[in-house]
C-alpha cells in the first residue's frame, strides 16, 4: 500500500505525522507514504524569516503569525505542539493584554478603536461611525428569519438583512473579511466564512437569539480535546484558558520545521521537496502519482484541475478562487506608532486604498524582538488581496511594494521614519476565497471524488482550500482525515488491487 500526500505545508506535514504514528509497526503488509512538495522548502504559507536587526534576531512572519487557543481545532493544535516538544517555546498574549483588547479600524481618515466591553459598545453607539449599533442589535430578534429557500448569501447581504441600516456593523464585517480572507465581503459567503453565525440564525430565526441560546456551551468534541490536553499538557491547558492568542518565540515555522523532522525520521515516510506534481492520472486500480494506491491532496482546486488534464473521467466540477497578498515586514529602532500598545488595525472595503491592514507585531509579541524588547518596533503591512492586480499588476517589483507600504504608514499613521530592516514577500494565490456558492461547490467535488466518472475513489482532499483557512483548521482537518484512514486500515492486509478510499475529506458538505 502506497499513499501519496501532495503538498508539504502544515496540512500535509500533519497528515504524514498522523499516518506515520498509526502505521509504524502495525503489521499487515508494508505501507509507504510519499510527501511531494513543489518548493525547495516545506511549510507552505507558514513562513518565518529571522532577520538580524541591530545585532538581534527579530522575527518577521510572512504568513500566519498568531494562533487562537480556543475551540476543538485550537486545542488540537496545542496538543500537537506539546507532542512536538514545543510547549516551552510558546509565547502568549493574555486576555487582558493591550494587544488582545485594543484593535482598530481605519475609517474616514482616522483610527477608530473597536469596543472591547459592553460599556465601550454603548458609548461607541452614541455617535460616530458605530452610531446606532446597540439599537440595531436590540431590534434584530424581531426581524423575520431567512427565507426557507435561501441556501447562501454574501457576508454583506447577511448583515444588511439582520441589521438593516447598521453602518458600523457593515464596516466591521468588511474589515474582518479583509483580515481573515483578504477578501471582498460583498462576494464572500456567510455560510462558508462565518458558519457559526449562519447556523445560529438557522436555529431560531434570529442571529442574536441563536447565539444566546447556544451560549458558551462546549461541544462533545471540544470537551474531549480539552480533557486530553489537560491530562497530557496541563501547562498548555492553563495557557489556553488565560490567553487570547499565542505564537512561538522563534515564529510559527517552528511547527512545520518540527513536523518535517518527524517525517524525515519516520521509517515509512519519504519527503520529496522540489518535486512539483504536474500530472495526476486516476483509474479504477491505481493513482498514477509515484505509483500510489491512494492520493491525499492538500493542493488548491485549480492545481488539481491542472494536474488532472488527460485523466479519465470528468474534470473537477468546482475550483475555489484565490487571492494574493503583498506582505511587508518592517523594523524600526524606536517606537514610531502614534498609539498606545495595540494589536493593529484593519481597513474596511469602502475606504479603498492599497492596505488590508497593519499588524503591530512588537506590541502583540514583544518576545519576538530578541533581547531588545522595547527597543524595536516591528510592523507588518498587508496589501492587495481581492484587489491585488488592480493595485500591483501582474508582477510587482519588491521596491515598488515597499514604497506603497511606506506610503500606507505615512498616510494612515503619519510614520515617515525609514525602517532599519524590512522584508517584502509576494504571496501569490495564497488565501482561498469562499465566495457565495462555495458550499455547494464543495458538495459537487465530494460527489466527484467518489464517482466512477470522477476521481474514482482514489483521492481525498484536505487543507485551507477545502475547509478552514486558519492553521488550527488545517491541523484539525489533517488529523481527522488521517485518523479516518487509520481506522479503515486497521487489521487489513492488502494484496493485488487496492480498495478505493473510504473518504473524501468533504463529508461534512453532505449535510
Quote the CA–CA distance of 211 and 200 in Å, as a whole number: 6
Contact 376, 54 (CB under 8 A): yes
Quote the CA–CA distance of 471 and 511 in Å, as a whole number: 24
- All three cell numbers of 137: 442589535
DSSP code at position 351: G
**pLDDT tens across 221-256, in order?**
899 999 999 999 999 999 999 999 999 999 999 999
Can you give 366-431 as a three-state secondary structure string? HHHHHHHCCCCEEEEEEEEECCHHHHHCCCCCHHHHHHHHHHHHHHHHCCCCCCCEEEEEEEEEEE
N-term to C-term CA, the chain: 31
**Ramachandran sector of residue 434 (left: φ over 0; alpha: ψ -120 to 50; beta: rest):** beta
Contact 385, 431 (CB under 8 A): yes
- All three cell numbers of 128: 460616530
DSSP code at position 175: H
- All three cell numbers of 359: 499588524
Domains defined along the chain, listed by start: 2-43+252-318+435-510 (3.50.50.60), 48-68+321-432 (3.90.660.20)
Q: What is the pLDDT along the chain (511 residues), one digit of tens a residue?
A: 889 999 999 999 999 999 999 998 766 567 899 999 999 999 999 999 988 887 777 899 999 999 999 999 999 999 999 999 999 999 999 999 999 999 999 999 999 999 988 888 888 888 889 988 999 999 999 999 999 999 999 999 999 999 999 999 999 999 999 999 999 999 999 999 999 999 999 999 999 999 988 765 667 889 999 999 999 999 999 999 999 999 999 999 999 999 999 999 999 999 999 999 888 877 665 556 667 888 999 999 999 999 888 777 789 999 999 999 999 999 998 899 999 999 999 999 999 999 999 999 999 998 887 655 567 899 999 999 999 999 999 999 999 999 999 999 999 999 999 999 999 999 999 999 999 999 999 999 999 999 988 888 889 999 999 999 999 999 999 999 999 999 888 766 555 556 677 799 999 999 7
Q: What percent of the chain has pLDDT over 90?
A: 77
Helix 253-265 and helix 10-23: axis angle, to 10°?
Answer: 40
Q: Which residues contact 25 (CB under 8 A, 6 or more apart)?
A: none
Please report the DSSP string for 98-146 in residue order. Answer: HHHH-EEEEETTEEEEPP-SHHHHHHHTTSGGGTTHHHHHHHGGGSPPP
- All three cell numbers of 292: 500510489
- All three cell numbers of 181: 480572507
Q: Which residues contact 422 (CB under 8 A, 6 or more apart)?
A: 328, 329, 330, 331, 402
State the residue for C-alpha cell 522548502.
Answer: 41
- All three cell numbers of 331: 523594523
Query: In terms of DSSP bridges, do strands 344-346 and 103-107 run parallel, antiparallel, or are they unpaired?
Result: parallel
Report in angstroms the alpha-carbon separations of 191 from 152, 156, 245.
6, 12, 25
Amino acid at each position: 500500500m502506497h499513499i501519496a500526500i501532495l503538498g508539504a505545508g502544515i496540512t500535509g506535514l500533519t497528515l504524514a505525522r498522523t499516518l506515520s504514528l498509526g502505521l509504524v509497526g502495525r503489521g499487515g503488509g508494508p505501507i509507504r507514504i510519499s510527501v511531494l512538495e513543489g518548493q525547495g522548502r516545506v511549510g507552505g504559507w507558514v513562513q518565518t524569516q529571522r532577520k538580524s536587526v541591530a545585532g538581534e534576531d527579530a522575527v518577521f512572519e510572512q504568513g500566519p503569525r498568531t494562533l487562537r487557543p480556543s475551540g476543538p481545532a485550537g486545542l488540537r493544535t496545542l496538543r500537537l505542539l506539546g507532542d512536538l516538544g514545543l510547549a516551552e517555546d510558546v509565547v502568549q498574549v493574555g486576555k487582558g493584554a493591550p494587544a488582545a483588547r485594543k484593535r482598530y479600524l481605519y475609517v474616514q481618515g482616522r483610527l477608530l478603536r473597536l469596543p472591547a466591553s459592553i460599556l465601550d459598545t454603548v458609548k461607541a453607539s452614541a455617535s460616530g461611525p458605530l452610531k446606532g449599533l446597540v439599537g440595531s442589535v436590540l431590534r434584530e430578534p424581531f426581524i423575520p428569519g431567512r427565507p426557507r429557500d435561501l441556501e447562501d448569501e454574501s457576508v454583506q447581504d447577511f448583515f444588511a438583512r439582520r441589521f438593516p441600516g447598521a453602518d458600523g456593523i457593515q464596516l466591521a464585517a468588511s474589515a474582518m473579511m479583509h483580515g481573515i480572507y483578504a477578501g471582498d465581503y460583498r462576494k464572500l459567503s456567510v455560510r462558508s466564512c462565518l458558519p457559526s453565525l449562519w447556523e445560529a440564525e438557522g436555529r431560531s430565526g434570529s442571529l442574536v437569539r441563536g447565539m444566546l441560546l447556544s451560549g458558551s456551551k462546549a461541544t462533545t468534541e471540544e470537551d474531549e480535546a480539552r480533557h486530553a490536553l489537560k491530562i497530557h499538557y496541563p501547562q498548555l491547558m492553563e495557557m489556553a484558558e488565560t490567553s487570547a492568542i499565542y505564537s512561538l518565540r522563534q515564529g510559527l515555522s517552528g511547527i512545520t520545521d518540527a513536523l518535517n523532522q518527524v517525517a524525515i525520521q519516520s521509517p515509512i515516510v519519504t519527503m520529496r521537496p522540489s518535486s512539483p506534481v504536474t500530472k495526476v492520472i486516476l483509474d479504477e486500480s491505481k493513482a498514477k502519482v509515484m505509483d500510489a494506491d491512494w492520493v491525499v491532496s492538500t493542493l488548491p482546486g485549480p492545481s488539481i484541475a491542472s494536474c488532472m488534464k488527460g485523466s479519465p473521467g470528468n474534470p473537477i466540477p468546482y475550483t475555489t478562487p484565490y487571492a494574493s497578498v503583498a506582505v511587508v515586514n518592517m523594523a524600526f529602532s524606536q517606537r514610531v506608532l502614534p498609539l498606545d500598545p495595540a494589536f493593529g488595525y484593519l481597513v474596511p472595503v469602502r475606504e479603498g486604498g492599497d492596505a488590508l491592514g497593519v499588524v503591530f507585531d512588537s506590541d502583540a509579541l514583544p518576545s519576538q524582538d530578541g533581547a531588545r524588547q522595547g527597543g524595536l518596533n516591528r510592523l507588518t503591512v498587508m496589501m492587495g488581496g481581492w484587489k491585488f492586480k488592480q493595485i500591483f499588476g501582474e508582477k510587482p517589483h519588491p521596491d515598488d511594494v515597499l514604497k506603497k507600504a511606506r506610503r500606507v504608514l505615512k498616510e494612515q499613521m503619519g510614520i515617515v521614519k525609514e525602517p532599519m530592516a524590512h522584508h517584502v514577500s509576494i504571496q501569490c494565490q495564497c488565501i482561498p476565497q469562499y465566495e457565495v456558492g462555495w458550499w455547494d461547490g464543495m458538495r459537487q467535488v465530494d460527489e466527484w471524488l467518489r464517482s466512477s466518472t470522477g476521481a474514482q475513489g482514489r483521492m481525498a482532499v484536505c487543507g485551507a482550500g477545502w475547509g478552514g483557512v486558519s492553521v488550527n483548521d488545517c491541523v484539525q482537518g489533517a488529523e481527522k482525515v488521517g485518523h479516518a484512514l487509520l481506522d479503515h486500515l486497521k487489521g487489513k492486509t492488502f494484496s493485488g488491487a487496492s480498495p478505493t478510499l473510504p473518504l473524501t475529506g468533504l463529508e461534512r458538505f453532505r449535510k
